[in-house]
Amino acid sequence: MTLRQTLEAQWQQGGWLATSLRPLGALTESVAAWRRRYIHGRPAAIPSIVVGNLSVGGSGKTPLVAALAGLLNAAGWRVAIISRGYGAQPPHWPYRVNASDSPEQAGDEPLLLVQHQVPGQVAGSQAVFICPDRHQAIAAAAAEGFDLALLDDGFQHLALRPTLRLLVMSGTQPLGNGYCLPAGPLRESPAALAEADALLLDAAAAAGLALGETPPRFHFRVQPRDLQALADPQRTRSLESLAGEHWTAVTGIARPQRFVDTLQALGAEVDARFFPDHHVFAPRDLESLPRPLVMTEKDAVKCRNFAHSDEWVLRIEAQLAADFMPWLERALSTWRDHEH
């Protein structure tokens, strides 16, 4: 286990390394609190919704953004998903991502969000724009006629004052050990929960987190959908086909054990090969691994160009509780009345 993996494990379970870093964690917390107090961003030209989190690592945020974009489209909004574009190298900033872009050009998560659009959606009703400056990305989207910005991450991007802030929390310990980086997984103090307009919680977080009545809370779940052939997206397999078969699970995500746990819960016998988060896959990473091979959708966007037979993608989907959209539509009603 690497030093980083050891530290990340101690963020949940405790240990000497995480404990020794608490003074640095206190500094991170102080800086974050100072920023909250003194940095007051400006609103965007169109309504903007931030979907973010307090902790680092995977929380189901990206599939939630995809699901939320679909719900907003169905409600009549033209939605521009806004991403920082971590690791992307586009020809210019801001940049509208195309489904044909490479992961190196667009970034893996923005490319996944473009490819995640719901079949049957009205053409031009949804797009993904990337730029480190969220205001520039939103301005580019507004210039193309989009009337709502949905930010994938950005709760700590205080230069923007969004219309709504949604915080995603998942897992049995959504706040880890309660400390800030590097002593724990938090980007800022748990007190920042009060800055959210609503919390989106999976079942484990809802059961394991003691919260007051505010902000309002809504449940979501992320569940497997099916298996899709990496080399031929038209080929699929049912989830039941995982059971009793030996699979090599390959992934480069922040919390890889969740992926393995999901496969095992579906009955698969799993040999896991973990790579660093945001790993740029090359053919040599996969060529000697036993088949069949299965990976996440985030990994798949980086491997399609050199895919072979018997390599599969576990597709997932997020579902929001039925009471969420009525709340969201009420929260956006002022903009709806003004714009529509």
Query: Are 59 and 201 within one domain?
Result: yes
User: Which tokens sit at 250?
Assistant: 């390959």
Q: What is the mean pLDDT of residues 189-195?
A: 94
CATH of the domain at 135: 3.40.50
In a domain, 30, yes or no: no
What is the torsional sign of CA 246, 251, 257, 262?
A: negative
In a domain, 119, yes or no: yes
pLDDT band at 339 (very low <50, low <70, confident <90, very high): low
At 249, phi and psi to the nearest 5?
A: -95, 120
In a domain, 32, yes or no: no
Q: What is the mean pLDDT of residues 30-50?
A: 96
Dist. CA 209–CA 174, nearest whole Å: 8
Q: Kindly calculate the radius of gyration of the chain based on its CA atoms and give it in whole angstroms.
A: 20
Query: Are 128 and 158 within one domain?
Result: yes
Q: What is the mean pLDDT of residues 205-230?
A: 88
Q: What is the mean pLDDT of residues 221-247?
A: 95
- DSSP assigned state of 55: B
pLDDT band at 340 (very low <50, low <70, confident <90, very high): very low
Query: Are 166 and 76 within one domain?
Result: yes
**Structure confidence at residue 5 (pLDDT):** 76
Q: Is the pLDDT of residue 212 over 90?
A: no
In a domain, 248, yes or no: yes
Question: How far, CA to CA in Å, does 130 sit from each of 106, 139, 186, 198?
Answer: 8, 11, 24, 25
Q: Is the pLDDT of residue 332 over 90?
A: yes
In a domain, 11, yes or no: no
Dist. CA 94–CA 78, nearest whole Å: 18
In a domain, 8, yes or no: no
pLDDT per residue as tens digits for the range 280-309: 899 999 999 999 999 999 999 999 999 999
Q: What is the mean pLDDT of residues 151-169?
A: 95
Query: Are 60 and 199 within one domain?
Result: yes
Query: Are 233 and 122 within one domain?
Result: no
**Structure confidence at residue 118 (pLDDT):** 54
Q: Which 3-state string (H, E, C) describes 134-180?
A: HHHHHHHHHHCCCCEEEEECCCCCCCECCCEEEEEECCCCCCCCCCE
Average predicted confidence (pLDDT) for the chain:
92
Query: Are 42 and 177 within one domain?
Result: yes
Query: Are 133 and 282 within one domain?
Result: no
Query: Are 161 and 303 within one domain?
Result: no
Query: Are 73 and 196 within one domain?
Result: yes
Query: Are 202 and 100 within one domain?
Result: yes
pLDDT per residue as tens digits for the range 169-178: 998 899 999 9
Q: Per the structure, how many domains does the chain have?
A: 2
In a domain, 21, yes or no: no
Q: What is the mean pLDDT of residues 13-29?
A: 96
Q: What is the mean pLDDT of residues 59-64?
A: 85
pLDDT per residue as tens digits for the range 132-157: 999 999 999 999 999 999 999 999 99
pLDDT per residue as tens digits for the range 256-265: 888 999 999 9
Instruction: Give the predicted TM-score (pTM) of the model.
Output: 0.92
Q: What range defines the domain where residue 309 resides?
A: 223-319
Query: Are 199 and 281 within one domain?
Result: no
